[in-house]
Amino acid sequence: QSVLTQPPSVSGAPGQRVTISCTGSSSNIGAGYDVHWYQQLPGTAPKLLIYGNSNRPSGVPDRFSGSKSGTSASLAITGLQAEDEADYYCQSYDSSVVVFGGGTKLTVL
């Protein structure tokens, strides 16, 4: 059972917009700690997608955006493309430990 809760799967057709939620609590996201997002393609190491709730590292397309409100955060992907099919993870901090969400598998239909 992960400290941060993500839906196991989401799906969307090419060109559509999808969102992935990350629900925490008052001891992590709700306490004001940043949320970071990762994309993991099959057989590869995770790649940082969003840091500090809503910031994109250099090279990440602006189709990817992050937001945070209260005890939750969201990752939005617009203009869905086939290459976006991957696993996505959120990360935050809670009581001296790093916490990850359980991961969400995005399927592009």
Which residues contribute to the site for other proteins (CB under 8 A)? 2, 33-34, 36, 38, 40, 45-48, 51-52, 57, 87, 89, 91, 93, 96-103
**Closest distance of CB 36 from other proteins, Å:** 4
**Closest distance of CB 99 from other proteins, Å:** 7
**Closest distance of CB 85 from other proteins, Å:** 17
For other proteins, the closer CB: 2 or 21: 2
For other proteins, the closer CB: 13 or 48: 48
For other proteins, the closer CB: 72 or 91: 91
Candidates 103, 107, 79; CA nearest to 10 is 107
